[in-house]
Structure 1
Amino acid sequence: MAGKFIKGALIEFMETFLLPLPNVIIFQFNPETMTHTWTQPQAAGGSGNGGEANPLAVRGVPGESFSFTVMLDSNDSIANKDPVAGSLAEISGVYSRLAALEMLQYPTGGSGGGGLLGSVSASVSIGGSGLSFGGSAEAAVKRDIPQSQVPTVLFVWGPGRIVPVRVTNLTITEKLYDGLLNPIHAEAQLGLRVLTPEELKYVTGPLKDIAKGAYTYSQGLRQALAIANLGNAAESIIGMLPL
């Protein structure tokens, strides 16, 4: 439909007591520019039989990463009169959106005790006298790190690009604040690295099969589009010939 745009998103599946709960972070405004970086596959190294190594041999697949900046503004949510997002924006500005992005940096426990919900529950213990906070947040995270992994996230950028990624860096610039010093306007610079098939073997939890399927789908679509481009290549070659 004219005038309608699909919004990009980051999706993380969190383990809960009942069913996996998707943590969907929809971009309030799609970034206008994006840097898509490719790096060469790792060199294969020396030959195992002592012979001369092939200098052109490589292992694995090329490295792939994305970097872009997303903008967040609470006034826009309030103006749209969204009953949920608007009310939350009035209370906390864009802090809730920033917090969701920040939690993508935290490791999740191997037994499901980490992540967005697990970190909250791990920081609170129920004692004989009611609720008590068991140490600092840093101490709670350190207890989970030995058996944890950084979350695997799906980067969704339209129907043609759905890839499993890891958030490699996050830089937040807060620009304006409300009376309670909640940020009401901010920019978040994100760096995402696409996971390789070898890394996807170690993905666990509810996102395991989805991550593998997303990678296979995106790679298959890329190959199909490259084949479709052969028509353009043939036309270009004909145009180069002195006929």
Structure 2
Amino acid sequence: MATYLRGALVQFMPTRLIPIPNVIVFQYNPESLTHTWTQPQAVQAEPQGGARGNPLAVTGYPGEAFTFTLAMDATDPIADNTIGSGLAKISGVYSRIAALEMLIQPSSSTSSDGLLGAVTSALAGAGSPRPNPPRQVPANKLPVVLFVWGPGRIVPVRVTSLTITEQRYDTLLNPIHAEAQVGLQVLTKTDVYAVSDDLAPLAKAANAYTDSLRQVAAIANLVNAAESIIGMIPH
């Protein structure tokens, strides 16, 4: 019997030592996956000297997105007493739901801010008659997430939408079956080069890897194109 690979979402959380991965392996691969492309923004340049601008001129890279539905169920692990059955008995599929929810939770871009930092700043300015200079509020950042769909498609993404539908519960009201509708926006080359944390090289490498495989597959398709042209020629 053939063994099928499972898709996954991998979140890397930066720490002081090494990044800790939050690996969400799909319990069941989605039955369908919608892959959407949008063309780059067209250049709206004013024609000079009456000459027409190039209608094919664009800026940036095309947009790429994925949408799919994941099914999660705790019945089989509990009944089969397989790996993870203990956690499934305690919380159903809530741990899987929580892991998905972490993919859309932003974190502070700095670790020094917080309650301690606010108290320190207040004490430092208590004895000064002059007001403290305004501090720039650090932006929160979404985690670096990789969408893994087989060995030929590993792309850095941001989770743009997540809808959880819980359908059945155990006696403690833990969900034992749920479906998650997931929307992913693939980071373009411009996006990955704007990532500023320690995990930027990972996003860049994944982007370059999948892009190179796509180009190789497109070149391989030239064989089919040649055969199609020959088939169009009347004998």
Q: How does 1:47-86 map to 2 (within 5 A)?
A: 47=46, 52-83=52-83, 85-86=84-85
After superposition, give the CA deviation of every residue in 1:178-233 in whole Å (9 maximum; x if it has no partner). Answer: 11111100000001111011111122334311111111110110110111011111
Q: CA 1:162/1:55 → structure 2, altered by over 3 Å: closer, same or farther?
A: same
In the TM superposition, what is the alpha-carbon distance from 1:52 to its structure 2 partner?
Answer: 4.8
RMSD: 2.2
Q: How does 1:96-115 map to 2 (within 5 A)?
A: 96-112=95-111
Counterpart of 1:207 in structure 2 is 199
Counterpart of 2:155 in structure 1 is 163
In the TM superposition, what is the alpha-carbon distance from 1:54 to its structure 2 partner?
Answer: 2.6
Q: CA–CA distance in 2 between the matches of 1:49 and 1:10?
A: 49
Percent of aligned positions with the same letter in both sequences? 58
Counterpart of 1:231 in structure 2 is 223
Letter in 1 for 2:191: E
Q: CA–CA distance in 2 between the matches of 1:61 and 1:216?
A: 14
Q: 1:220 aligns with which of 194, 197, 212?
A: 212
Q: CA–CA distance in 2 between the matches of 1:52 and 1:191?
A: 39
Q: How many residues align?
A: 213
Counterpart of 1:34 in structure 2 is 33
Q: CA 1:113/1:47 → structure 2, altered by over 3 Å: closer, same or farther?
A: farther
What TM-score does the superposition give when structure 1 sets the normalisation length?
A: 0.81
Which sections of structure 1, spanning at least 5 residues, go unmatched? Answer: 115-121, 124-144
Q: CA–CA distance in 2 between the matches of 1:64 and 1:77?
A: 35
Which sections of structure 2, spanning at least 5 residues, go unmatched? Answer: 116-136
Counterpart of 1:20 in structure 2 is 19
Letter in 2 for 1:16: T
Q: CA–CA distance in 2 between the matches of 1:113 and 1:100?
A: 25
Letter in 1 for 2:22: N
- Report if the CA contact (8 A) 1:16-1:112 is conserved: no
Three-state SS of the structure 2 residue aligned to 1:98 is helix
